[in-house]
Amino acid sequence: MHMNVQTHYQAELDAGRFCLQRCPQCQQHNFPPRELCPHCGAGNLAWVRASGQGVVYSTSTIARKADAGGNYNVALIDLHEGVRMMSRVEGLAPEAVAIGQRVQAQVAHKDGRGLVLFTPVQTQDSMGGAA
pTM: 0.87
d(CA 35, CA 21): 10
Taking a C-beta distance cutoff of 8 angstroms, is the pair 48, 20 a contact? Answer: yes
Structural domains in the chain, sorted by start: 5-121 (2.40.50.840)
pLDDT values of the chain reduced to their tens digit, one per residue, 131 residues: 467 999 999 999 999 999 999 999 999 999 999 999 999 999 999 999 999 999 999 999 999 999 998 999 999 999 999 999 999 999 999 999 999 999 999 999 999 999 999 999 987 654 444 44
For 40, 41, 69, 78, the CA distances from 27, given in Å and listed in that order, are 10, 12, 41, 18
